[in-house]
Amino acid sequence: MLQNFALFPPNSQFFDLFRPWQFITYMFLHGGLGHIFFNMFALWIFGTAIEAAWGTKTFTLYYFGTGIGAAVLHMILTPSIVIGASGGVFGILLAFGMMFPERRIYMLLFPVGIKAKYFVLLYGAFELMMGISSLQTGIAHFAHLGGMLVGIAIIKFWKLPTNLE
């Protein structure tokens, strides 16, 4: 069943089962409870403010656009199976950083809070470093970056509002 919904690269044994909908369905598959929990948690935390500002239709098109773009970049740079909503979530994270750059994000690593614009830049740099070094196998770092890059392109092309603070 995985081969019907996951996105496989051209060099895989399942690529002959490729169907166009897999560019969307791959986002609904996850590698475990932790994977889906953190993706959905981030989507909820960052996505609610963006949806409130842009509206449901624009938010949904943006989210799926970044998810599809993330898959395309991943397939070009690191052709391997890809599942999960992370590419779209990273697009949402990018939009949050652009829309609310001064808002503080609190995490265990940043107990005093870090401005969203710096958090997004640091997270993007970390993903680039991990993607280039290939230290964490099994994680689609270039899909994450793809979601961010496509997110910038969509925001600029559609002239979506940013820096709402």
What's the rounded Cα separation, in Å, for the pair 15 and 17?
A: 5
Both ends of the chain: CA-CA distance in Å?
A: 45
Element (H, E) at 73: helix 56-77
> What residues make up the domain containing 56?
40-158
pTM: 0.91
pLDDT higher than 70, residue 7: yes
Q: What are 20's two structure tokens?
A: 């166009």
Which pLDDT belongs to residue 31? Answer: 86
**DSSP category for residue 132:** H
Q: Does residue 32 belong to any structural domain of this protein?
A: no
Q: What are 45's two structure tokens?
A: 């935390």
Element (H, E) at 39: helix 33-54
- Tens digit of pLDDT for each residue in 114-156? 999 999 999 999 999 998 887 667 788 999 999 999 999 999 9
Q: Does residue 26 belong to any structural domain of this protein?
A: no
Q: Does residue 164 belong to any structural domain of this protein?
A: no
Give the CA count within 13 Å in the CB-facing half-sphere of 38. Answer: 9
Sign, CA torsion 126/127/129/130: positive
**Mapping DSSP to helix (H, G, I), strand (E, B) and coil, where does residue 107 land?**
coil
Q: Does residue 8 belong to any structural domain of this protein?
A: no
Q: Quickly state the pLDDT bin for 62 (edges 50, 70, 90).
A: very high
Q: What are 53's two structure tokens?
A: 């500002």
Which pLDDT belongs to residue 136? Answer: 61
Q: Does residue 121 belong to any structural domain of this protein?
A: yes
Q: Does residue 125 belong to any structural domain of this protein?
A: yes
Q: Quickly state the pLDDT bin for 110 (edges 50, 70, 90).
A: low
Q: Centre a 10 Å sphere on the Cβ of residue 102 and count the other Cβ atoms it contains.
A: 9
Q: Does residue 72 belong to any structural domain of this protein?
A: yes
**Mapping DSSP to helix (H, G, I), strand (E, B) and coil, where does residue 7 land?**
strand
Total of domains in the chain: 1
- Tens digit of pLDDT for each residue in 21-36? 889 999 999 888 988 9
Q: Does residue 17 belong to any structural domain of this protein?
A: no
**What percentage of residues in the chain have a pLDDT greater than 90?**
63
